[in-house]
């Protein structure tokens, strides 16, 4: 499978602040990728590295098999930054004309369709648009460029629920119409949206990749296990415990398992995507708060 974005031991430091550390990931072509993580996790930094606006401090990132600032790569990448920058003094129609002049693969029909769908007045100056309308304009410009890789930093954050649903629908159509290699990476805090549209997920926390892979693969390797009470360190090898809960008689573990646990004494349930992400995020928050393994002994069951 061709990787469109490939990062190896990628690190980014702003002065004394380490924003990304040792990030290794591989985004296959043709996926809609959800980039999820708490505030300050490094999502914007990763997207800006992927479109060549930032350069790595350590390790490397490649897009289409080469560094993203290589001449020619920019035309193949569409990027919408979190603050959806537009030119305040230019009208919506001026933006479309500029897009047509600057981009060889410009899709005027798609741009017009998106502008009409968003209810934007072509004559209105961009500086007079609301935050959500500005986001709609920036998104229309990015998709009409017909990029092979579309990078969107929290694209739906400023949109109302109807506009959000229409945008996500449009995103899936864009990915399908663009051909099997068209790849979209979008960051968002809205897990339910990501669950609806994404088939690949990257979970970032504290500047590190905590989980990454195809959604189906991730779902197939994360479980909730219930068994007679026992300590996490007595579980079979090959299980990574993300969370443990104990009652007097039984223990419930949320685990990542490379293979199903073949033991009839376990009750094993699949984990939903939202739970999976939240468990990875809280496991990384716990690890940051207490870097050693869980020091609390599991008390013996009460008789
Ligand atoms: N230009 C900058 N100078 C210094 N530090 C920065 C700069 N940009 C980002 N950072 C820091 O890098 C870390 C990662 O920031 P980043 O914006 O990539 O996170 P994020 O996951 O996109 O956050 P959010 O969800 O809040 O948008 C944060 O600690 C942030 O304070």
Ligand 1 atom nearest residue 153's Cα: 22
The 10s digit of each residue's pLDDT in 15-41 is 999 999 999 999 999 999 999 999 999
CB-ligand 1 contact for 19 (6 Å cutoff): yes
Q: How far is ligand 1, taken at its centre, from the CA of residue 62, in Å?
A: 21
Averaged pLDDT, 62-80: 88
* Spatial distance between the Cα atoms of 96 and 92, rounded to a whole number of angstroms: 7
Averaged pLDDT, 184-206: 91
Q: How far is ligand 1, taken at its centre, from the CA of residue 13, in Å?
A: 10
Nearest CA residue ID for atom 25, ligand 1: 39
Are residues 203 and 51 in contact, defined by beta-carbon separation less than 8 angstroms?
Answer: no
Task: Supply the pLDDT for residue 294.
Answer: 44
Domain ranges of the chain: 3-206, 217-289
Pairing of strands 77-80, 149-153: parallel
Q: Please tell me the least confidently modeled range out of 16-20, 193-197, 213-217.
A: 193-197
Looking at the domain that runs over 3-206, which CATH code has it been given? 3.40.50.300
CB-ligand 1 contact for 218 (6 Å cutoff): no
Q: Which of 92, 73, 87 is nearest to 144 (CA)?
A: 92
Ligand 1 atom nearest residue 17's Cα: 5
Q: How far is ligand 1, taken at its centre, from the CA of residue 218, in Å?
A: 27
Pocket-testing residue among 12, 14, 154, ligand 1, by greatest number of atoms within 8 A of Cβ: 14
Could you write out the DSSP letters of every residue in 148-199?
A: SEEEEESTTTTS-HHHHHHHHHHHHHHHHHT-TT-EEEEE-S-HHHHHHH-S
CB-ligand 1 contact for 84 (6 Å cutoff): no
pLDDT for 279 beyond 70: yes
User: What spatial distance separates the first Cα and last Cα of the chain, rounded to whole Å?
Assistant: 55
- Residue 267: pLDDT band by 50, 70, 90 thresholds? confident
Edge-to-edge order in the sheet of strand 183-187? 77-80, 149-153, 183-187, 32-36, 200-205, 208-214
Are residues 126 and 87 in contact, defined by beta-carbon separation less than 8 angstroms?
Answer: yes
Tally the residues of the chain: 303
* Spatial distance between the Cα atoms of 23 and 10, rounded to a whole number of angstroms: 5
Nearest CA residue ID for atom 16, ligand 1: 42
Q: How far is ligand 1, taken at its centre, from the CA of residue 21, in Å?
A: 13
Averaged pLDDT, 193-200: 90
Q: How far is ligand 1, taken at its centre, from the CA of residue 45, in Å?
A: 6
């Amino acid at each position: 499978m061709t990787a469109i974005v490939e990062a190896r031991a990628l690190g980014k430091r702003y002065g004394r602040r380490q924003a990304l550390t040792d990030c290794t990931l591989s985004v296959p072509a043709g996926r809609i990728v959800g980039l999820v993580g708490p505030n300050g996790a490094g999502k914007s930094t990763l997207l800006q590295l992927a479109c060549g606006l930032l350069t790595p401090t350590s390790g490397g990132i490649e897009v289409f098999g080469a560094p993203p600032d290589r001449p020619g790569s920019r035309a193949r990448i569409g990027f919408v930054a979190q603050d959806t920058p537009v030119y305040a003094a230019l009208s919506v129609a001026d933006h479309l004309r500029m897009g047509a002049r600057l981009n060889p693969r410009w899709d005027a029909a798609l741009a017009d369709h998106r502008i009409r769908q968003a209810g934007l007045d072509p004559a209105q100056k961009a500086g007079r648009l609301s935050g959500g309308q500005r986001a709609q304009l920036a998104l229309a410009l990015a998709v009409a460029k017909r990029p092979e890789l579309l990078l969107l930093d929290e694209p739906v954050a400023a949109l109302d629920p109807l506009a959000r649903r229409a945008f996500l629908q449009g995103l899936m159509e864009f990915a399908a119409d663009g051909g099997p290699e068209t790849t979209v990476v979008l960051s968002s805090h809205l897990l339910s949206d990501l669950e609806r549209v994404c088939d690949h997920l990257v979970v970032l926390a504290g500047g590190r990749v905590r989980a990454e892979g195809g959604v189906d693969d991730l779902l197939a390797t994360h479980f909730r296990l219930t068994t007679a009470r026992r300590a996490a360190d007595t579980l079979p090898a090959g299980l990574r415990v993300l969370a443990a809960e104990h009652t007097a008689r039984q223990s419930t573990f949320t685990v990542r398992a490379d293979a199903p646990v073949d033991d009839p004494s376990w009750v094993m349930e699949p984990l939903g995507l939202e739970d999976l992400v939240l468990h990875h995020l809280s496991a990384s928050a716990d690890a940051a708060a207490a870097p050693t393994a869980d020091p609390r002994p599991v008390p013996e069951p009460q008789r």
